[in-house]
Amino acid sequence: MKYSKSISLYTMAILFLLLLLCACKREGVGKISNTNAPLPPDSLITLGGHEWETGNYQKALNYFSTAYKKYKKEHNEEQMANLLNNMGLVNWSLNHDKQAMELYTQSAEFAEKLGMKRLLGLTHTNRALIYKQTEDFTKAFEHNNKAIKLFEELKAPKDLVIAYNNQGQFYRHTNQLDQALKYYNLSLAECKKIDYKIGLSTAWQNISTVYSVKGDKEKALDAAKKSLLYSLETKSKVRIWEAYLEISTAYENVGRQDSALYFYKKHAILQDEIQEANQSESLTKHLAELSVETKNLRIKNLQNDKKIASNRLMLITFAILAVLLTAALALYGYFSKINFRKRQLESELRNSKRILEIREQELKTYIIDLSRKNAIIQNLQEESTTDVISTEVTEDEIAELLEQKILTDDNWETFKARFKAIYPGFFTRIKESGIQLTEAESRLLVLMRLELNSKDMANILGISPQSVRVCKMRLKKRLPTDKYVSVECFLADITR
């Protein structure tokens, strides 16, 4: 059984190794394929936003469109609504006003259905800007008023800043300057709530423009200064550039030509820096794209190398497995032979034990029969001495039974032959002990070996129990006292 368990464990270990190697192979293949795995929608949205901010509107639109298709398959209407608005902004940046308007409208439908009030407000603001470009100010006001109402309900300061500013722009382009100032001031109030520097700069710049148009030159100059102050705090080159131009115009209107020229020069210098930065950024981006292509090519080469290495590893793995399986089969055959031989020996041992048990039983049966015969003869002897003889038994029959002595020489030889067959080394070990025993003492030791009591031994030997004890005492005297303290000790020594 132990050998069979060892074979099972060995086979299981080989199978486990095979499964492990196959799993490693699958994992390796997975890693190669994951390099070209499609990006999740969230990542596509992030990439699209980055491309939009850097002016790569077409790439941004591609990312947003791919993300939209994925969310559409998942029936994620909330994300679909947001992406429709994003795609509308990109199309508006590409001057595709018609497509942008359609996307804003679809986004608004989802937003209204799902209760996305902020998104709904943004779509109204975005649609109002398109109507402003087409000088449809009636619809522009309509949508922007809806946006303002939603943002006021939501208490969204930043969104209100944009909506109020747009409202001021609409009024300014329709020559309603007082209304324009009203909404620019509302935009300022919301900016102050959240300390929105860019919004503050933009609002003061628009206020400066309105005052210039109204002819209030001092207020225009004061507003332009505040616009520049907040622009410098934002550290935004675009905002500072616009503020320089606005304050230069304001100084020119009040007749301060030196100051006007000073800020106009700053405006021109910053304009050159912005253009140079844009060119540098374009070059950097071009180099980055080239670097990305180079990296992709290198990745493909590495993937090919990895596939080759993976195939080589597979061949080596199969070779090792073939050797291991061959060795396992050889070991299985060897252990099978050992187990077969072991079962044969166990079967032979069981048969030998059965034969020994049968012979022991035969010997005990023989001794019991002798004991019974001896008891019968003893009774007949007692009846003979008391002259109490059955009328049914003649004197000749009694004499014949008396002549059949129990354990005579013939009986002893027969008994001795049977005893030797069961305990073959018993008499040999008596001789090897060097102690000379009489025939009677040998018989006594044989019966003691069979674990009979004194009475049974007396019946078998045809003597009294007292004679058995005397024979045992004589045997004890003949034993070396320094080695054996009793006959039982001597018997135990020769039967070990």
At 110 the pLDDT is 92
Place of tokens 């166990």: 346
Asked if 224 contacts 204 with a C-beta cutoff of 8 angstroms, the reply is: yes
Enter the tokens of residue 17: 């190794």
DSSP 389: -
Domain ranges of the chain: 41-301, 405-494
Q: Are 193 and 159 in contact (CB under 8 A)?
A: no
Helices (H), 215-256: 217-234, 237-253
Q: If we measure between CA atoms, which residue out of 28, 4, 103, 63 comes closest to residue 317?
A: 28
Q: What is the full DSSP assignment across 119-179?
A: HHHHHHHHHHHHHHHTT-HHHHHHHHHHHHHHHHHHT-HHHHHHHHHHHHHHHHHTT-HHH
pLDDT at 171: 94
- Span of 25-39, 306-320, 477-491 with lowest mean pLDDT: 25-39
**Residue with the larger pLDDT of the pair 225 and 364:** 225
More confident call, 283 vs 434: 434
The rounded percent of the chain whose pLDDT value lies above 70 is 80
pLDDT at 294: 56
Average pLDDT of the residues of the chain: 81
The pLDDT of residue 41 is above 50: yes
d(CA 97, CA 103): 10
pLDDT for the residue numbered 353: 82
Q: Are 427 and 412 in contact (CB under 8 A)?
A: no
Determine the pLDDT at residue 398: 35
Q: Predicted confidence band at 56 (pLDDT cuts at 50, 70, 90)?
A: confident
pLDDT band for position 280 (cuts 50, 70, 90): low
Which pLDDT score is estimated for 37? Answer: 60
**pLDDT at position 284, please?**
58
What was the pLDDT predicted at 202? 94
Give the model's pLDDT for residue 4: 46
pLDDT, tens digit (0-9, with 9 covering 90-100), for 434-469 = 888 888 888 888 888 888 888 888 888 888 899 999
Give the percent of the chain with pLDDT over 90: 35
Q: CA-to-CA distance for 171 and 181, rounded, in angstroms?
A: 9
Dihedral (Cα; 277, 283, 289, 291), 10-degree rounding = -110
Residue 331 has pLDDT above 90, yes or no: no
- Judged against a pLDDT cut of 90, whether residue 66 lies above it is answered with yes
Q: CB pairs under 8 A, 24+ apart, for 466-471?
A: 468/444, 471/440, 471/441, 471/444
Q: Which pLDDT belongs to residue 186?
A: 92
Residue 254, token pair as written in the block: 């009040």
- CATH number given to 405-494: 1.10.10
pLDDT of residue 39: 82
pLDDT band at 138 (very low <50, low <70, confident <90, very high): very high
- For residues 455 and 466, what is the distance between their CA atoms, to the nearest angstrom? 9
User: pLDDT digit string (tens) for 178-188?
Assistant: 999 999 999 99
For the chain, counts of helices (H) and of strands (E): 20, 0
Label residue 283 by pLDDT band (50, 70, 90): low
325 pLDDT band (50/70/90 cuts)? confident
Task: Please report the pLDDT score of residue 404 as a whole number.
Answer: 36
Instruction: Using the predicted structure, report yes or no on whether residue 27 has a pLDDT greater than 50.
Output: no
- Say which range, 199-203, 266-270, 405-409, has the weakest mean pLDDT: 405-409
- Between CA 62 and CA 335 the distance in angstroms is 68
pLDDT tens for 161-172 read 999 999 999 999
d(CA 339, CA 328): 16
Residue predicted with more confidence, 328 or 101: 101
Predicted confidence (pLDDT) at residue 9 exceeds the cutoff of 80: no
Q: Would you identify the CATH topology of the domain 41-301?
A: 1.25.40
**Mean pLDDT value across residues 195-224:** 92
- What value does the mean pLDDT take over residues 304-328? 83
The pLDDT of residue 278 is 63
| 351-382 confidence digits (pLDDT tens) | 878 888 777 777 777 777 666 666 655 655 55
- Label residue 421 by pLDDT band (50, 70, 90): confident
- pLDDT reported for residue 317: 86
Instruction: Give the pLDDT of residue 415.
Output: 80
